[in-house]
Amino acid sequence: MKDIILEVKHQQSSHCETGVISTLLKSKGLEISEPMAFGLASALTFVYLPMIKIGGMPLVAYRMPPKTIIKTVCKKLNIELSSRKFKNQERGMQALDEELGKGNLVGLQTSVYWLPYFPEDMRFHFNAHNLIVYGKTSEGNYLISDPVFEHLVECSEEDLKRARFAKGALAAKGLMYVINKAPTQLELESHIYKAIHKTTKIMQGIFLPFIGIKGINYLAKKIRQLDKKSNKYQGLFLANIVRMQEEIGTGGAGFRFMFASFLDEAAILTGDVSLKKASEEATRVGDTWRQFAMAAVMFCKKRKNINLNQVAEKLEECALKEQALRNTLQTIGKNS
């Protein structure tokens, strides 16, 4: 077997899914940045789901579910995307080889834990990590553009298969996706305003108390109720929130900063000054989330005499600032 090496415009990214779709589109000649992909997908949200456990703790998410960004961006921009899952692992690997043989870059959803090029302290059981396969060597190793890393990496066939078909929450079931056809030019302005309008609806959440701004306040209430739990559980609960916010993907603050970058880029593209002001406001929202994370860490480490009420109050401040940002974005939507 000969080496298959396809051209890929590798870029280290803030988040795997936005990084992968941006790289795939740039490889098709479409200059869509990572923040622009995030904003166009209306991916900004907050979710606290106590009924779903990750590592024994409730799921906390700061963006729309995995695959939403890639699917939404492609649908909005009239980009032909094909995706497949597999019951049979061997068939899944064969299908990957077939797409590479056709000259297609292939996006995969994988488990971080089974990717050996990740440093050991970064490997944990998270099954929604996206990457791009751009080739295969004659020795059977896959050539990978992973948005987490500055440089291109390699992975053995057995390790990649294990990563694609890992069991557990958010199991990918071998998910792979390919961009088949893309337009040569894009008109983004109308899509930007529509995406912002949709984001305001998502931020508010639905009738369930776990989603959007309601969800942030709901979680703050749960933090106050931790005084009935053991010190160990309090630490685990808060540490899980911070880990989801700061370590998995770009997390809560990072996604707010990414949304701010989207608004800033949109302001330049449209010439709309109100988008620039909204970008500055979104940055302040991200700063507040970082302050909440610091307060939670200080509580866990028993420093500065911070109590649960103070941690909850900082989270409620996040909710207030997200509500204010939502109000600003609603005004932009009405004027567009």
Same domain assignment for residues 111 and 201: no
Tell me the pLDDT of the chain averaged across its residues: 91
Q: Based on the domain organization, do 177 and 214 belong to the same domain?
A: no
pLDDT, one tens digit per residue, over 219-265 is: 999 999 999 999 999 999 998 888 877 665 555 678 999 999 999 99
Give the integer Cα–Cα distance in Å for 274 and 91.
51
Q: Are 327 and 206 members of one domain?
A: yes
Residues 130 and 14 in one domain: yes
| Residue 125 Rama label (left phi>0; alpha psi -120 to 50; beta) | beta
Residue where one domain finishes, among candidates 181, 206, 236: 181
Q: Is the confidence at residue 144, as pLDDT, over 60?
A: yes
Decide if 42 is inside a domain: no
Assigned domain for 37 exists: no
Long-range contacts of 130-133 (CB under 8 A, 24+ apart): 130/16, 130/17, 130/19, 130/20, 130/66, 130/70, 131/16, 131/20, 131/107, 132/8, 132/20, 132/23, 132/24, 132/105, 132/106, 132/107, 132/108, 133/96, 133/100, 133/105, 133/106, 133/108, 133/160
Find the CATH number of the domain harbouring 21.
Answer: 3.90.70.30
pLDDT band at 331 (very low <50, low <70, confident <90, very high): very high
Total domains in the fold of the chain: 2
199-226 pLDDT, tens digit each:
999 998 777 788 999 999 999 999 999 9
Question: How confident is the model over 148-197, as pLDDT tens digits?
Answer: 899 999 999 999 999 999 998 788 999 999 999 999 888 899 999 999 99
Percent of the chain with pLDDT over 90: 73
Q: What is the pLDDT of residue 218?
A: 95
Beta strand ranges found along the chain (DSSP E): 4-5, 44-54, 57-63, 80-84, 106-110, 129-136, 142-145, 153-155, 176-181
Does 108 share its domain with 220?
A: no
Amino acid (1-letter code) at residue 308: L
The answer as to whether 300 is a domain residue is yes
User: Do 171 and 200 belong to one domain?
Assistant: no
Q: pLDDT at position 263, please?
A: 98
Residues 170 and 253 in one domain: no
The region, left, alpha or beta by phi > 0 then psi within -120 to 50, assigned to residue 305 is left
Residues 208, 176 share a domain: no
Residues 263 and 156 in one domain: no
Residues 6+ apart with CB under 8 A from 153: 117, 144, 146
| pLDDT value of position 64 | 87
Predicted pLDDT at 336:
47
pLDDT band at 109 (very low <50, low <70, confident <90, very high): very high
Same domain for 215 and 123, yes or no, is: no
Q: Which of 181, 214, 248 is the last residue of a domain?
A: 181
Does residue 38 belong to any structural domain of this protein?
Answer: no
Q: List Cα–Cα distances, 121 to 124, 125, 153, 236, in angstroms.
A: 8, 12, 18, 18
pLDDT band per the 50, 70, 90 thresholds, residue 49: confident
- Where a domain ends, among 181, 212, 229? 181
User: Is pLDDT larger for residue 101 or for residue 59?
Assistant: 101
Q: Is residue 131 part of a domain?
A: yes
Query: pLDDT by residue (tens digit) across 67-97?
Result: 899 999 999 999 999 999 999 999 999 999 9
Q: Is residue 58 part of a domain?
A: no
Residue 287 has pLDDT above 80, yes or no: yes
Structure tokens at 77: 């921009």
- Write the pLDDT tens digit of every residue in 270-280: 999 999 999 99
157 and 201 fall within a common domain: no
Q: Examine residue 241 and state whether it is found in any structural domain, yes or no.
A: yes
Q: Are 140 and 171 members of one domain?
A: yes
- The range of the structural domain enclosing residue 132 comes to 4-31+80-181
Residue 301 placed within a domain: yes
